[in-house]
């Protein structure tokens, strides 16, 4: 993270007013209660048992700063809280509660950071305030934010098949996971901040990736008054549809050409061999690498990359850099995405990025199959055999069950899970800012789905007005949330958001850097990430390793 225009302050000093001109505060901002470190420790211990709506704090522990250099998991001196709300027994006879964890730093910057979840939650993530993208060497807690996380109302069950998904048998657990945890956890967190520091936060931020990105979109659309700025990274805002495509559809098209596994069923992780995947990568690069003016092993002009995988089938006498006809047909079906028998697109097509060749291995199959069967469809399919579910289910039937309700499950999966509405009138009116980004080699969520959504936002507000509060960025070669051997995945989206919220500096572009740890052949390469619909185009001269030689067009 670069400087965030939010200088931190110790709770235990005579606290001077932050000089926040252009940073979202003013000389009239209230100041936190002054405490020495000893008083801070005492106040931390005193929070144990503090009531919040529907529950209470059950643990409060002073935590010393970690030793060594700053890192993504390092911590400063802080008060660590854990608590729960809504303790109850579900209709499945199992115990549930909406758990939360908070970290309240001794040196507080008067800001609040809600760290979004991951997977299907069910874990009480450490409240460090993880930053997005790859290669982070800091976190929000280190930078002075009060941070909260939540398990979203359930805990994954250990020692049983598909224990992460079994909460889908309880309606209330579904709803808290879907959208109900946000206002409750935020209210509890802000109440505890006020009790502890004596003031409410000057600014509030939500940052999340994947399921956390979905929650971020929920926040902007359904709870627009909670956060000043939101980063929605790799957002599964149409997660229900993505789960059907990523499980039932992809399992069945893979099964048609996959080898038989040791269990006698198709091994859907191996429809393409390693050599086949190399052909897909090379064909994409051959077709699209140079479209941005630079043959650099990346596909940066994604909007123009539209090859036909059927053309990759081997012709008579051809044996190199091509696929068998059945495999070429499979690749086309994979990239085109699922459709119902009536022709309706189930989710979205995949972009042609060289990193997308790995999609053929169905890396997210288990989580998508578990979500689709147990959580998003009504009634749920509770099963220990997720492969059997994907191979045997009907795309049409499961797609229809995403919209279904019954007397027990009164909200559909689409309703409690997704965040598809372009209506952000209230969020925009209050001055909220939203940054959405997605990797082009993300094997879970497609940039085309984000693009389609952002076009709806533009249609509602006009392109210029939409860009005034919401911007989308597509990252060539980046995988799910971070990583990817064909791109540049290290960039500061949170810093860009804070600058936008607190300085009024809108992010036209963010500079991203390639990391050796991501597997790239060009560590240290930089590129501009351009706000949609612009893309990074080579200027025609200068090193292709330097972002300065590319412009957003």
Q: List, in sequence order, every residue forming a beta bridge with 61; answer none if it has no partner.
A: 80
Burial 268-305 (b: 16+ CB within 10 A, else e): bebbbeeebbebbbebbbebbbebbbbebbbbbbbeeb
Mean pLDDT of all residues in 413-418: 98
- Express as a percent the part of the chain with pLDDT over 90: 94
Spell out the SS3 assignment of 470-539. Answer: EEEEEECCCCCCCCCCCCCCECCHHHHHHHHHHHCCCCCEEEEECCHHHCCCCCCCEEEEEECCCCEEEC
Catalytic residues: 210, 442, 480
Q: Would the pLDDT of 77 be above 80? A: yes
The predicted structure's pLDDT at residue 317: 87
The predicted structure's pLDDT at residue 349: 98
Give dist(CA 359, CA 513) in Å, integer: 24
User: Coil, strand or helix: which one is 89?
Assistant: strand
How is 100-155 classified by DSSP, letter by letter? EEEEEESEE-SEEEEE---TT--S----S-PPSSS-----TTTTT-EEEEE-TT--
- CB of 480 closer than 8 Å to CB of 456: no
The predicted structure's pLDDT at residue 33: 87
Give dist(CA 327, CA 254) in Å, integer: 9
The predicted structure's pLDDT at residue 2: 42
Torsion of CA 299, 303, 305, 308, to 10 degrees: 150
pTM over 0.75: yes
The predicted structure's pLDDT at residue 11: 52
Task: From 399, 391, 411, 476, select the one nearest 442 (Cα to Cα).
Answer: 476
- CB of 84 closer than 8 Å to CB of 97: yes
How is 277-320 classified by DSSP, letter by letter? HHHHHHHHHHHHGGGGS--SS----GGG----GGGGBPPTT--S
The predicted structure's pLDDT at residue 28: 62
- Cα angle for residues 413, 344, 472 (degrees, 5° grid): 70
- CB of 492 closer than 8 Å to CB of 2: yes
The predicted structure's pLDDT at residue 173: 98
Mean pLDDT of all residues in 262-285: 97
- CB of 199 closer than 8 Å to CB of 30: yes
Token representation of residue 58 = 């059950």
Mean pLDDT of all residues in 471-483: 98
Contacts 24+ apart (CB under 8 A), 324-328: 326/256, 326/257, 327/257, 327/271, 327/272, 327/276
Task: From 14, 185, 30, select the one nearest 113 (Cα to Cα).
Answer: 185
Which has the higher per-residue pLDDT, 71 or 26?
71
- CB of 98 closer than 8 Å to CB of 54: yes
Give dist(CA 318, CA 159) in Å, integer: 51
End-to-end Cα spacing for the chain: 27
Domain boundaries along the sequence of the chain? 18-201, 241-416
Q: How many CB atoms are located within 10 Å of the residue 408 CB?
A: 12
The predicted structure's pLDDT at residue 318: 86
Q: List, in sequence order, every residue forming a beta bridge with 530; answer none if it has no partner.
A: 509
Q: Render pLDDT for 177-216 as a digit per residue (tens, 0 to 9).
A: 999 999 999 999 999 999 999 999 999 999 999 999 999 9
Mean pLDDT of all residues in 223-248: 98
The predicted structure's pLDDT at residue 6: 42
Q: Tell me what the pLDDT averaged over the chain comes to.
A: 94
The predicted structure's pLDDT at residue 418: 98
Q: Would the pLDDT of 40 be above 50? A: yes
Q: Would the pLDDT of 26 be above 70? A: no
Q: Would the pLDDT of 364 be above 70? A: yes
- In terms of C-beta density within 10 A (0-12 exposed, 13-18 middle, 19 or more buried), how is residue 308 classed? exposed
Q: Render pLDDT for 508-531 as a digit per residue (tens, 0 to 9).
A: 999 999 999 999 999 999 999 999
Give dist(CA 127, CA 81) in Å, integer: 9
Give dist(CA 124, CA 132) in Å, integer: 19
Residue 453 to residues 234, 247, 471, Cα–Cα distance (Å): 13, 22, 11
Give dist(CA 227, CA 224) in Å, integer: 7
Give dist(CA 509, CA 529) in Å, integer: 5
Give dist(CA 10, CA 18) in Å, integer: 12
The predicted structure's pLDDT at residue 319: 81
Among 6-15, 231-240, 411-420, 534-543, where is mean pLDDT lowest?
Answer: 6-15
- CB of 476 closer than 8 Å to CB of 300: yes
Q: Would the pLDDT of 548 be above 80? A: yes
Size of the chain in residues: 553
Q: Would the pLDDT of 138 be above 60? A: yes
Confidence of residue 147 (pLDDT cuts 50, 70, 90): very high
Q: How many CB atoms are located within 10 Å of the residue 143 CB?
A: 25
Q: Would the pLDDT of 448 be above 50? A: yes
Q: Would the pLDDT of 47 be above 70? A: yes
Confidence of residue 323 (pLDDT cuts 50, 70, 90): very high
Cα-flanking dihedrals φ and ψ of residue 303, to 5°? Answer: -65, -25
Q: Would the pLDDT of 123 be above 60? A: yes
The predicted structure's pLDDT at residue 15: 32
- Cα angle for residues 23, 204, 232 (degrees, 5° grid): 105
């Amino acid at each position: 993270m670069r400087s965030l225009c939010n200088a931190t302050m110790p709770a235990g000093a005579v606290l001077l007013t932050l000089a926040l001109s252009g940073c979202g505060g003013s000389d009239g901002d209230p100041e936190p209660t002054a405490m020495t470190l000893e008083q801070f420790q005492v106040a931390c211990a005193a929070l144990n048992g503090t009531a919040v709506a529907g529950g209470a704090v059950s643990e409060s522990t002073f935590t010393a700063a970690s030793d060594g250099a700053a890192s993504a998991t390092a911590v400063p001196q802080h008060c660590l809280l854990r608590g729960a709300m809504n303790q109850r027994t579900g209709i499945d006879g199992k115990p549930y509660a909406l758990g939360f964890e908070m970290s309240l730093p001794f040196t507080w910057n008067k800001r609040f950071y809600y760290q979004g979840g991951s997977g299907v939650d069910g874990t009480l993530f450490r409240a460090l305030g993880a930053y997005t993208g790859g290669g982070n060497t800091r976190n929000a807690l280190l930078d002075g934010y009060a941070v909260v996380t939540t398990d979203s109302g359930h805990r994954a069950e250990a020692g049983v098949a598909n224990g992460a998904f079994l909460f889908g048998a309880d309606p209330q657990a579904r709803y808290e996971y879907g959208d109900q945890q946000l206002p409750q956890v935020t209210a509890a967190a802000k109440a505890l901040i006020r009790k502890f520091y004596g003031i409410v936060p000057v600014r509030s931020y939500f940052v999340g990736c994947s399921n956390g990105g979905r929650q971020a979109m929920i926040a902007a659309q359904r709870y627009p008054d909670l956060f000043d700025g939101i980063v929605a990274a790799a957002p599964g805002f149409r997660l229900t549809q993505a789960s059907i495509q990523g499980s039932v559809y992809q399992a069945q098209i893979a099964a048609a050409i996959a080898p038989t596994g040791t269990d006698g069923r198709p091994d859907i992780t191996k429809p393409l061999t390693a050599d086949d995947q190399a052909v897909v990568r090379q064909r994409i690069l051959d077709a699209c690498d140079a479209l941005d003016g630079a043959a650099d092993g990346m596909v940066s002009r994604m909007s123009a990359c539209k090859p036909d995988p059927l053309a990759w089938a081997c012709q008579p006498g051809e044996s190199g850099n091509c696929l068998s006809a059945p495999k070429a047909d499979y690749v086309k079906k994979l990239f085109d995405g699922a459709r119902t028998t009536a022709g309706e697109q189930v989710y979205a097509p995949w972009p042609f990025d060289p990193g997308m060749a790995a999609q053929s291995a169905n890396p997210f199959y288990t989580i998508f199959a578990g979500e689709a069967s147990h959580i998003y469809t009504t009634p749920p399919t509770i099963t220990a055999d997720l492969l059997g579910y994907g191979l045997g289910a009907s795309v049409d039937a499961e797609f229809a069950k995403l919209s279904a309700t019954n007397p027990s499950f009164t909200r559909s999966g689409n309703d409690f899970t997704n965040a598809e509405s372009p209506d952000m009138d209230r969020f925009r009116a209050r001055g909220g800012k939203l940054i959405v980004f997605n990797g082009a080699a993300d094997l879970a969520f497609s940039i085309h789905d984000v693009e389609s959504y952002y076009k709806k936002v533009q249609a509602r507000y006009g392109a210029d007005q939409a860009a005034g509060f919401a911007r989308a960025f597509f990252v060539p070669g980046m995988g799910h949330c971070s990583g990817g051997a064909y791109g540049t995945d290290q960039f500061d989206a949170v810093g860009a958001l804070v600058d936008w919220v607190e300085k009024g500096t809108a992010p036209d572009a963010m500079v991203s850097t390639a990391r050796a740890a991501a597997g790239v052949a060009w560590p240290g390469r930089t590129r501009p990430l351009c706000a949609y619909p612009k893309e990074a185009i080579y200027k025609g001269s200068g090193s292709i390793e330097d972002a300065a030689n590319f412009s957003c067009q």
